[in-house]
Structures are given as structure tokens and as C-alpha cells.
């Protein structure tokens, strides 16, 4: 396609959230010449990476009137990807010289190091000057004049009690998806007397000392938290839907940690029955069952919905065809290397908004989405897995890069991602501290020297 000769247009754009997605979205939008306001309900950047020891009063986080805690990070959390792989493309996640000794130089660092990296990024690119902190977005809706494409945003600045009602040309939603928990359904749970909670409200193992705990899930959090708790608990049992019905395995290196098939049912005497036939008397059931996409502020008249955790319809997981290009989302896909993907999605959005990159017609976008949905349907893939990528992320990233005219994901980054996955499955205990991909690390640092 020949380059367009029309002048690049600048727009007034609202970004919702100043976590890893919102920060890079703001940077790319401003680089493209747009004027940007970022709305952030917390007092600092970092989103889900801000650790707090506060937990919600409702341990299951189902009460709609609860005060919501906007972090799911637990004390011992370390990244499950190496830092070289994780960082934004042109701001490598390296150990920075001249920074304080409190930093964590490990390849798989703690959550605090990721937060410090995001703070460094915000500082390096002067992003904070675009951010309104301590500001909750109450409502995002198409502006009254039908078809204008503009958006009306109502927000409240908590400390100063300032209410704002403003008009923007476009909205980029970057509010994360690790706040609103999903739960497993357990037959008999209403009369079970023990404590139920979601991992969203887990911070440290100490409250579980000498208790019998069942965790449900097969995610990174279930894996990490089960080992964390096993240090102090009497027994830890991990129930997982994807395990065979007769699964009963003692975890190597532990004498109090077992893997099971899913829970069959629970009883009012406090017992939990697994599909493998085992029955255990249990103090706590912890749901490590992930999160729901949640946009309580967004009013689209049914044009964007969340149905069994499918956000749709969205073209390439980013644009709503009904409102394109004026409503977009960064960070919807999961099982991905997040930060570099956020960066590519943001470059694409910024270029589309300025008119530099064309989008297909609304009809063509809808057609592609319908084709995707029927393919997933035919493969028997549930709606809630619509945005799960895994291996397909690299094809997706290549497509985004080709739209933006920038280079594809580096080979070493892909190889490092796959090597880490293999290592993690083989050595879940030690993969963060013992590795053999030194050749990939040196390739990464060769690339990083271009940005130093």
C-alpha cells in the first residue's frame, strides 16, 4: 500500500490506567503527536505491580459493595519470565547502574523490582506529567451528539473532591484484568463450615500455620502459593480441573504437599471429597482461579460486552468495530509476554488514530471476528479462552509490527520464552535460579547496547 499523503491528525486521547499498559500507551500516543490524559485511581504508577498488605474485607471478593484493593501481588512473588524477555523493546529491563541497593538484580526478580522498572520507565519518558493520580473514572460513554465519535468521561479526584465531566476524541482502556476474581463452583459449598478465599487476598503464608489448605487452580499463582504455604501449613492439597480423575501425587521435595484431581463435593462436617476418591478434613479453600475482565465504568449500549470472559466483539483484541478507532483496549490477551505486546498494540493504536495506519471497514472487522468465533466454536474452545494466546502471540506480534512498520520480536526473546517454559515444567522449584540459556542472554545484551 502506498504511504498516505494526508496530514497526520492529532487527537485528544484519554488513557484509563497507569500500569504497564497505560504507561506505554501514553508514551506512544504522545510520540505520535496526540495530546494525552491518563486517569489513575492510585497515587502512583505501576498498576497491578504495586504491592500492598491490605486485603479486601470479603475474602472471596464477591460483595459488590466491598472496598476494592487494586493489587493481587503476594509477598513472595517473583516473575515467571526472565527480565531480558519481559521489558519494553527500547527500554530494556536490565540492572541499572547508579540505582539504590534495594533493587533486585536477579534474572527472575521480585514484584518490587518490576514496579521500580515501571517507575524508571515513567521517569525516563516524562509520563507522570500526563497522569491524574488518585482519580477514579466513573463513566465512559459515547458523547451525546450521535455519530460524533467523541467520548464523555466523568471522573472524581478523591482527595480534592473534584468531579470532572469532559469530552475526548478517543479512549484507550488499560485498566488491567487482575482485580475481579473468578471462582470455581463447588457442590455443597453453601453448608461447608471452613474459610473460603480467593488468591487475590493472599499476601503471606503465616495465617495458614498448622492448617489444612486446599488450593484450586493450575496457574502460576496456585503453583507459587502452594509452595509458599507448605512451609508453615500442616497439609496443602492442590485440586485442578485439568488433572486426570485419579490424580494423587505427592510433590517431590515436600512431605505435606499433594496434587489432586478436581473437588467432587464438600460436606458440612468440613470434609472435602476429590474426584480421586480421597476425603480430607480442611480448614481453608483458596480459589487460585484467575480473574474476570471488568469495565464497570464503560457504557457502550451493548456494543462491547463481557460474556464468559470473552470481551467482544474486538478486532485483533484491540478495536471495537462499532466505535473504531475511537475506543480501543491494550492488554486483553493472556498467556503472553505482556510488556512488549502492550508496546506494539499501543504503537498500532497511536498510528491508526493519527490516520497513518489504515483500519479495515467496520463490516470487514466484524467478518473477521465472526470467523474467529466460529473457528473457536468448531474446535470446542470455550469463550473464556478467546484471549488466551501462548504460542500464537508471536504471530500476532509480527502482524502488529508489520502494521506499525517496526521490527518483529527478536528471535532470542522468543527462544527465551520457550526455553523458560520447558525449564519451568521440568524444574518448577529451581527454574528461576538455575538456567542454561547464557547464549540467549548475551544476544539480548547485544541488542540492549543499541538502546543504552
* Residue 415 binned pLDDT confidence (cut-offs 50, 70, 90): very high
pLDDT digits (tens, 9 = 90+) for 170-188: 999 999 999 999 999 999 9
What integer pLDDT is reported at residue 147 of this predicted model?
Answer: 59
pLDDT digits (tens, 9 = 90+) for 222-235: 999 999 999 999 99
Cα–Cα distance list, 165 to 211, 267, 286 (Å): 51, 52, 41
Q: In angstroms, rounded to a whole number, what is the distance separating the alpha carbons of residues 98 and 87?
A: 19
Q: Which three cell numbers stand for residue 286?
A: 483458596
Q: Of 19, 106, 95, give the one whose Cα is nearest residue 338.
A: 19
Q: Of 419, 426, 368, 417, give the one whose Cα is nearest residue 392.
A: 417
Domains of the chain: 12-45+127-180+291-409 (3.50.50.60), 189-287 (3.50.50.60)
Q: Is the predicted pLDDT of residue 375 greater than 50, yes or no?
A: yes
| Residue 240, C-beta contacts closer than 8 angstroms, at least 6 positions apart | 216, 217, 218, 222, 247, 259, 260, 261, 262
Q: To the nearest whole number, what is the mean pLDDT of the chain?
A: 95
Q: Is the predicted pLDDT of residue 96 greater than 90, yes or no?
A: no
Q: In angstroms, rounded to a whole number, what is the distance separating the alpha carbons of residues 229 and 224?
A: 9
Cα–Cα distance list, 191 to 170, 265, 266, 269 (Å): 49, 11, 8, 9
* Residue 1 binned pLDDT confidence (cut-offs 50, 70, 90): very low
Q: In angstroms, rounded to a whole number, what is the distance separating the alpha carbons of residues 44 and 114?
A: 14
What integer pLDDT is reported at residue 6 of this predicted model?
Answer: 53
pLDDT digits (tens, 9 = 90+) for 109-156: 999 999 999 999 999 999 999 999 999 999 999 997 655 789 999 999
* Residue 5 binned pLDDT confidence (cut-offs 50, 70, 90): very low
* Residue 160 binned pLDDT confidence (cut-offs 50, 70, 90): confident
pLDDT digits (tens, 9 = 90+) for 439-451: 999 999 999 998 8
Amino acid at each position: 500500500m502506498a504511504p498516505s499523503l494526508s496530514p497526520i491528525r492529532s487527537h485528544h486521547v484519554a488513557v484509563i490506567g497507569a500500569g504497564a499498559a497505560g504507561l506505554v500507551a501514553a508514551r506512544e500516543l504522545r510520540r505520535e503527536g496526540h495530546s494525552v490524559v491518563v486517569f489513575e485511581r492510585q497515587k502512583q504508577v505501576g498498576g497491578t505491580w504495586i504491592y500492598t498488605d491490605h486485603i479486601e474485607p470479603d475474602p472471596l471478593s464477591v460483595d459488590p459493595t466491598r472496598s476494592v484493593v487494586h493489587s493481587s501481588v503476594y509477598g513472595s512473588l517473583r516473575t515467571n519470565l526472565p527480565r531480558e524477555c519481559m521489558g519494553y523493546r527500547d527500554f530494556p529491563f536490565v540492572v541499572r547502574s547508579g540505582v539504590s541497593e534495594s533493587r533486585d538484580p536477579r534474572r527472575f526478580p521480585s514484584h518490587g523490582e518490576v514496579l521500580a522498572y515501571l517507575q524508571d520507565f515513567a521517569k525516563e519518558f516524562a509520563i507522570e506529567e500526563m497522569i491524574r493520580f488518585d482519580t477514579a473514572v466513573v463513566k465512559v460513554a459515547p458523547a451525546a451528539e450521535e455519530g460524533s465519535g467523541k467520548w464523555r468521561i466523568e471522573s472524581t479526584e478523591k482527595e480534592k473532591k473534584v468531579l470532572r465531566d469532559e469530552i475526548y476524541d478517543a479512549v484507550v482502556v488499560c485498566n488491567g484484568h487482575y482485580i475481579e476474581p473468578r471462582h470455581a463452583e463447588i457442590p455443597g459449598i453453601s453448608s461447608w463450615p471452613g474459610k473460603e478465599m480467593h488468591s487475590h487476598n493472599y499476601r503471606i503464608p503465616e495465617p495458614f500455620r498448622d492448617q489444612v489448605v486446599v488450593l484450586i487452580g493450575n496457574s502460576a499463582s496456585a503453583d507459587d502459593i502452594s509452595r509458599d504455604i507448605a512451609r508453615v501449613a500442616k497439609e496443602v492439597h492442590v485440586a485442578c480441573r485439568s488433572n486426570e480423575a485419579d490424580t494423587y501425587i505427592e510433590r517431590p521435595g515436600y512431605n505435606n504437599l499433594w496434587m489432586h484431581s478436581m473437588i467432587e463435593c464438600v460436606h458440612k462436617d468440613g470434609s472435602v471429597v476429590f474426584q480421586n476418591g480421597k476425603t480430607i478434613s480442611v480448614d481453608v479453600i483458596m480459589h487460585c482461579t484467575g480473574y474476570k475482565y471488568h469495565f464497570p465504568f464503560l457504557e457502550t449500549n451493548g456494543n462491547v460486552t463481557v460474556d464468559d470472559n470473552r470481551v467482544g466483539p474486538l478486532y485483533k483484541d484491540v478495536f471495537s468495530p462499532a466505535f473504531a478507532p475511537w475506543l480501543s483496549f491494550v492488554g486483553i490477551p493472556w498467556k503472553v509476554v505482556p510488556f512488549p505486546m502492550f508496546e506494539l498494540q499501543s504503537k498500532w493504536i497511536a498510528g491508526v488514530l493519527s490516520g497513518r495506519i489504515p483500519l479495515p471497514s467496520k463490516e470487514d472487522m466484524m467478518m473477521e471476528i465472526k470467523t474467529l468465533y466460529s473457528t473457536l466454536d468448531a474446535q470446542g474452545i470455550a469463550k473464556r479462552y478467546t484471549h488466551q494466546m501462548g504460542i500464537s502471540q508471536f504471530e500476532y506480534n509480527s502482524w502488529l509490527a508489520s502494521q506499525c512498520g517496526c521490527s518483529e520480536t527478536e528471535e532470542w526473546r522468543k527462544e527465551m520464552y520457550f526455553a523458560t517454559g520447558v525449564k519451568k515444567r521440568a524444574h518448577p522449584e529451581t527454574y528461576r535460579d538455575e538456567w542454561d540459556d547464557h547464549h540467549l542472554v548475551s544476544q539480548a545484551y547485544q541488542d540492549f547496547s543499541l538502546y543504552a
